[in-house]
Amino acid sequence: MTFRDTAAGTEPREANPRPFAREHGDIQTAVVNLVDHLAPLVPVARQIEVAREIASLIASLPSAMSANMFLRQSIIRRATATSDQVIDGLAAWVTVLFDLANLQQDRDRAMRLEARLPNKAVARLRRALSQSHNGCIIAVPHIGSLELFAAHLKDRGFDVGFVYSIGRQPTPTERWIYAGRSATAATPIAFARRNTGAEISRVLRNNGVVFMVVDVYPSAKYAGITVKTHDSDFRYPPGPARYARTGTLVLPGFASRRDAAGFSMNILDPIAYRTWMPVEAAAREFTQDIASRVDGFTAEQPAAYWLWHPIPNDPYLAIAERQRPDLLTALVPGDDEAVALAVEAAHAKWTGSDQTDPIRWTEAPPLTSSVLPETVG
């Protein structure tokens, strides 16, 4: 077993039989089972359309997943999200699941998508690595095809690692997600483990690049660094500022949601760390600079924002409670199990149809249409 398998709590030779068992109300596992089945059958260019059909099915009934996406899309957009905008966000998440399935089932197929990364961005990263005392961090939000971003940098010759969250005892679904991330060929680094810092430092010492998702701080134990974004207070992780203080250059990076042709990536100039300031003040200013760039990109690409998942001390819920109670009154009680069963019914229907016929995926009718009101319940 390698270090990365130990850190993730997985055993590389351990079977992970399909379909994955799920708990009551577990929509994510129902969707993963469906995507895992469909990914090798659906042309990669068509997967974004199928992802939207799956998202429409999820959003056709009220659930915690749709409610979370409604709150987050509303706050990101500084408006009240429509049902189509909620479906956009859920479709972006399902598309990420297709990316993970493609990578672990047939990496070459996954990587044949057009990957638009400006030459200036690559030159910027190479220059930063040549100037840095300790590798580079790419600070990214929960937007777009992050695993493909990491995989393409790896294939361009960079030593790449990425920090991600996984349970102490990973579920079959978490192990499936981990398998997709591992197929990037980058080094997965589990968040909040005793050796997380050591593994990050190992990649950085090798003049490598570590992806850190920074737009939320998934810790119920630590406060993080408070920044202003989306017109309110958010908690960002302290890691980027801590590494910047030791000479690591931190560059904001972004990936678009992929379309039928492919997707785009960009890497911006490093964020300046104010070494002359007291440590806490410098960390606040530095992290605020990251947040401002992330906020700007998120505002430009809200449909690519895919994080519906529960967040400790959820900042989006806190904003709704303090500043947007109208968003909470727009919600109705959800039934997660009903949504999971609807996804499984679609899975059974599709499994029983002519899945092996490629024409089905060029002329397929919509799976369902959303019955959500314009302000999602």
pLDDT per residue over 108-140, tens digit each? 999 999 999 999 999 999 999 999 989 999 999
- The per-residue pLDDT for 12 is 46
Give 221 or 294, the one with higher predicted confidence: 294
pLDDT of residue 377 exceeding 50, the answer is: no
For residue 166, how many other CB atoms are within 10 A of its CB? 21
Residue 232, strand partner residues: 229
Measure the CA–CA gap between 81 and 72, rounded to whole angstroms: 9
**Is-contact 137 209, C-beta < 8 A?**
yes
- The per-residue pLDDT for 363 is 38
Structure-block tokens of residue 30? 């129902």
Residue 165, strand partner residues: none
Mean pLDDT lowest among 229-233, 250-254, 280-284: 229-233
Q: Which of 372, 328, 377 lies closest to 84 in space, CA to CA?
A: 372
Measure the CA–CA gap between 265 and 253, rounded to whole angstroms: 7
Name the one residue in this structure whose structure tokens are 């995926």.
361
DSSP state of 220: S
Q: What is the pLDDT of residues 238-273, one digit of tens each?
A: 999 999 999 999 999 999 988 888 999 999 999 999
For residue 268, how many other CB atoms are within 10 A of its CB? 15
Q: What is the pLDDT of residues 174-183, one digit of tens each?
A: 999 999 999 9
**Is-contact 242 284, C-beta < 8 A?**
no
List phi, psi (to 5°) of 339. -70, -45
Q: What is the pLDDT of residues 135-164, one digit of tens each?
A: 999 999 999 989 999 999 999 999 999 988
pLDDT level of residue 190 (50, 70, 90 thresholds): confident
pLDDT level of residue 103 (50, 70, 90 thresholds): very high
Is the CATH number 3.30.200 carried by domain 3-329? no
Q: Which of 253, 302, 38, 44 lies closest to 146 in space, CA to CA?
A: 253
pLDDT level of residue 168 (50, 70, 90 thresholds): confident
Q: How far apart are the first and last CA of the chain?
A: 46
Global pTM?
A: 0.89
- The per-residue pLDDT for 90 is 98
